């Protein structure tokens, strides 16, 4: 089953972080579109000028540091909104 065929309704909000130069970026684009179509709150941020695996290079790549900070902000927002509840 592909992500396009999956039932994604009711999922918690999703943050996707992609590099502009990434062989998997089109997969992230498809996932973002499918999530949005299912009504899932989706934030897909694409970082220009970086390649696949940039996220772990914050010590030497400024956009990786920015992406990590963005991911942290998104997590803080999700927890503050009570995204995990019983």
* Residue 6 or residue 67, greater confidence: 67
For residue 2, pLDDT beyond 60: yes
pTM: 0.85
pLDDT in tens, 25-63: 999 999 999 999 999 999 999 999 999 999 999 999 999
Distance CA(66)–CA(27), nearest Å, equals: 22
**Mean of the pLDDT values across residues 10-33?**
95
What is the reported pLDDT for 84? Answer: 53
What is the reported pLDDT for 5? Answer: 75
Distance CA(81)–CA(64), nearest Å, equals: 26
Domains in the chain: boundaries: 14-80
């Amino acid at each position: 089953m592909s992500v396009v065929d999956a039932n994604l309704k009711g999922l918690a909000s999703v943050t996707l972080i992609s590099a502009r130069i990434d062989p998997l970026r089109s997969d992230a684009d498809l996932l973002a579109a499918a999530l949005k179509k299912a009504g899932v709150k989706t934030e897909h941020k694409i970082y220009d000028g970086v390649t696949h695996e940039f996220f772990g290079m914050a010590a030497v790549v400024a956009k990786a540091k920015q992406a990590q900070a963005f991911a942290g902000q998104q997590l803080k927002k999700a927890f503050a909104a009570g995204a995990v509840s019983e």
